[in-house]
Amino acid sequence: MPALAVDAAAPVVHAFACDAARFPTPLLGPGAAAAAEKPDAAAWSADLSSALYNVDGWGAPYFFVNDDGDVAVRPHGAATLPGQEIDLAKVVAKAAGPRAGGGLGLPLPLLVRFPDVLRHRVEALNAAFDYAVRSTGYGGRYQGVYPVKCNQDRHVVEDIVEFGEPFRFGLEAGSKPELLLAMSCLAARGNPDALLICNGYKDDEYVSLALMARTMGLNTVIVLEQEEELDIVVEASRRLGVHPVVGMRAKLRTKHAGHFGSTSGEKGKFGLNAAQILSVVSKLKTLGMLDCLQLLHFHIGSQIPTTSLLADGVGEAAQIYCELARLGAAMRVIDVGGGLGIDYDGTHSAQTDMSVAYSLEEYAAAVVAAVGRVCDRKGVAHPIICSESGRALVSHHSVLVFEAFSASAPGRIDPATGYLLDELTDDCHADYRNLMAAAVRGDFETCALYADQLKRRCAEQFKEGVLGLEHLAAVDSLCEIVARGMGAAEPPRTYHINLSVFTSLPDMWAIGQMFPIIPIQRLGERPAVDGVLSDLTCDSDGKVEHFIGGRHSLPLHELPVHGTRGYYLGMFLGGAYQEALGGLHNLFGGPSVVRVSQSDGPHCFAVTRAAAGPSCADVLRSMQHEPEVMFEVLKQRTDGATAAALARAFGAMPYLSFDPEAAAMASGESSGMSSDSEGSAAGVAEEDDDEWEFMRGLTV
């Protein structure tokens, strides 16, 4: 590029003076006027933050931003009264606050469960189908099941069975351990008519276990995923003397595009095609067991985007159901599988996997209408309609809260180091002078060319040892400041979070699933920083840089001043799958957990269960290490005080540990701003902070 003519005697404005505020107005670029008109922090409001993060889109009817600028929860959905709303920031203050001040002293990250939300989801799903049945004159009823693979946590499963008992709500299992927990839970808490659907590939042990469940009075149905599974069922039923109830999973032609539809259609992973269905019917008829066939199951994929696609698939399955009834099977249940989606991005659209273009009520109406229409045309009695709606039930009931503990700083040059630019070699110094001349003229295109040339030339000379690291840093900062002066957007800053994406957000890493992530407090302030999130792991994939709304950065606030903690973010709608799929990457375990119910106390909630996350010893043991032996080996090389510290290290969580008192102060909450104390310490051992005993049998 030809050099611009520059008067050698003319003074050069040093880089440290080239802040965007010093440039003439034209240099600020075309976006400067609009930026200048943006409201300042004082003009910001909680309502503007709610709109910015589209909380009313993805959060309704459970999450909203309250007048204090905190994310709050309506535990009973739209029926929640004003005095029943739960401030999430106060929950975190209670859970993470020091025990000496009335907190629970739980380390973060923190998973907050709201069983009242879970109850509301169960009731809303059943109410939607009940209304669809009554309003259309449908002759059958709805009787759903929860697929425990979505979240196998004991309290989640027990809650769903308890809340669903009046609706005959049951469980679906896809493996032997899931079947065992489903049997136990239904036997203890379930409605006698509740279905226990046995899906997944099966061996003799699985089938025998399912047949044993029938002898215990459970309404168990063994769904055939493969034709050869029928032989296993017949053999086991004869051996145990149990008359089985079986279903078949049909492989439909209907499928939907996108990641969540990949298991559907003719080439789907599961199910029987038309020829195999007829073969099973023929075998059962020959064996005199055709009365055992009572259920048809299908699945056209999770996150079904539209009711038109849903109705198409349900209609196809209903035709198969009616054909099975015509062939003599004792059909009584059509299981429409999963697929009831949720609105992760709040757009209520069918364009991506992140949203769906229907409501809960519209979903139920489409299913009931499609089944009723086909059965009426075929003259077949309306069956019981079952769905396996796991994602829609549990996604909203929990919030993952984590802390941003540091952030990258924007580029700047210390005025004391401005002389470094005068020490550049002649060719680099010429680029520098030309760059500044173009900047002062407002020649943005030429300015960008010289900036790029200067950086490349300096990088080459650094590699050759001609320039020092200080020169390279000064040039980089200069070019960044000039770019901002030309109106270029400041690159997103990296916020470092006390979390493992691989452990707590596996779908985000593995399949590009996006969940709403927003600050849970300070939403009355304007978020002035665009940031991306980087986790604690050593892998480059351990980051979050894609957010709902198509954003590649997240509006955030400046972190609290140095020496304080407490900038908390929440990940929402992640109650399905993430806990079960998370691994132990870098041996980071799961989060601490609190269970929060709405109460009539001064702060509207009570913590009814609390548990710290897995310790270092727990995660080591999960990988076949022996923490007790490891401790004994290390203890031989140290004194008593160090051994005590080692014991505490084995018992601590793997995540970063910060002073909870500082966190409470930074969040604006004293330890007194917490929930009702009654029952709030259930599940938490009384511990002395200075002598935290290692509870896994390690002794000093």
The mean per-residue pLDDT over the stretch 584-592 comes to 82
Read off the pLDDT of residues 425-434 as tens digits, 9 standing for 90 and up.
Answer: 888 888 888 9
The residue that leads in pLDDT, 586 or 344, is 344
Q: Is the pLDDT of residue 471 over 50?
A: yes
Most confident of 20-24, 130-134, 536-540, 681-685: 130-134
Read off the pLDDT of residues 407-451 as tens digits, 9 standing for 90 and up.
Answer: 987 666 566 566 788 888 888 888 888 988 888 888 888 888 989
Going through 489-615 in order, the beta strands assigned E by DSSP cover 493-497, 517-519, 529-534, 543-544, 554-556, 568-571, 592-598, 605-611
- Binned at pLDDT 50, 70 and 90, residue 525 comes out as very high
pLDDT score recorded for residue 412: 64
Cβ proximity of 478 and 15 under 8 Å: yes
Lowest mean pLDDT: which of 99-108, 469-478, 576-585, 608-617?
A: 576-585
Q: Is the pLDDT of residue 26 over 80?
A: no
pLDDT score recorded for residue 256: 61
pLDDT more than 90, % of the chain: 56
Most confident of 232-241, 251-260, 410-419, 537-546: 232-241
The kind and range of the H/E element at 673 are: none
pLDDT score recorded for residue 473: 86
Q: Is the pLDDT of residue 682 over 60?
A: no
Read off the pLDDT of residues 187-224 as tens digits, 9 standing for 90 and up.
Answer: 999 999 999 999 999 999 999 999 999 999 999 999 99
Task: Clarify whether 150 is annotated catalytic.
Answer: no
Which of 537, 447, 458 has its CA nearest to residue 499? 537
- Binned at pLDDT 50, 70 and 90, residue 639 comes out as confident
Q: Is the pLDDT of residue 178 over 90?
A: yes
Q: Is the pLDDT of residue 117 over 90?
A: yes
The mean per-residue pLDDT over the stretch 534-545 comes to 86
pLDDT score recorded for residue 261: 55
Lowest mean pLDDT: which of 254-268, 487-501, 661-675?
A: 661-675
The catalytically annotated residue of 292, 386, 479, 538 is 538
Average pLDDT, the chain: 84
pLDDT score recorded for residue 37: 40
The residue that leads in pLDDT, 210 or 582, is 210
The mean per-residue pLDDT over the stretch 72-76 comes to 97
Distance from C-alpha of 260 to C-alpha of 349, rounded to nearest angstrom: 16
Distance from C-alpha of 557 to C-alpha of 566, rounded to nearest angstrom: 12
Going through 523-641 in order, the beta strands assigned E by DSSP cover 529-534, 543-544, 554-556, 568-571, 592-598, 605-611
- Binned at pLDDT 50, 70 and 90, residue 96 comes out as very high
Cβ proximity of 647 and 550 under 8 Å: no
- Binned at pLDDT 50, 70 and 90, residue 645 comes out as confident
- Binned at pLDDT 50, 70 and 90, residue 654 comes out as confident
Model pTM above 0.85 = no
- Tokens 């059943």 belong to which residue? 126
Read off the pLDDT of residues 292-305 as tens digits, 9 standing for 90 and up.
Answer: 999 999 998 889 99
DSSP assignment string, 373-387: HHHHHHT-PPPEEE-
Distance from C-alpha of 6 to C-alpha of 434, rounded to nearest angstrom: 7
pLDDT score recorded for residue 495: 94
The mean per-residue pLDDT over the stretch 283-290 comes to 97
The residue that leads in pLDDT, 404 or 269, is 404
Most confident of 63-72, 563-572, 607-616: 63-72
Burial class for 652, CB neighbours closer than 10 Å (0-12, 13-18, 19+): middle
pLDDT score recorded for residue 562: 56
Distance from C-alpha of 692 to C-alpha of 650, rounded to nearest angstrom: 11
Distance from C-alpha of 206 to C-alpha of 201, rounded to nearest angstrom: 9
pLDDT score recorded for residue 440: 85
pLDDT score recorded for residue 257: 63
The mean per-residue pLDDT over the stretch 60-85 comes to 96
- Binned at pLDDT 50, 70 and 90, residue 561 comes out as confident
Report the DSSP beta bridge partners of residue 596: 607
Burial class for 283, CB neighbours closer than 10 Å (0-12, 13-18, 19+): middle
Class of domain 50-114+396-406+496-613: mainly beta
The mean per-residue pLDDT over the stretch 648-660 comes to 80
**What is the b/e burial string over 292-319, where b = at least 16 CB atoms within 10 angstroms of the residue's CB?**
bbbbbbbbbbbbbbbbebbbbbbbbbbb
pLDDT score recorded for residue 12: 40
The mean per-residue pLDDT over the stretch 312-329 comes to 96
Alpha helices in 42-101 (DSSP H): 46-52, 55-58, 88-96
Q: Is the pLDDT of residue 691 over 50?
A: no
**Domain ranges (residues) in the chain:** 50-114+396-406+496-613, 115-395, 411-486
pLDDT score recorded for residue 237: 96
Q: Is the pLDDT of residue 663 over 80?
A: no
Distance from C-alpha of 548 to C-alpha of 460, rounded to nearest angstrom: 40
Read off the pLDDT of residues 30-48 as tens digits, 9 standing for 90 and up.
Answer: 333 333 344 455 689 999 9
pLDDT score recorded for residue 523: 96
pLDDT score recorded for residue 637: 84
Distance from C-alpha of 312 to C-alpha of 253, rounded to nearest angstrom: 10
Q: Give CATH for domain 115-395.
A: 3.20.20.10
The mean per-residue pLDDT over the stretch 611-640 comes to 86
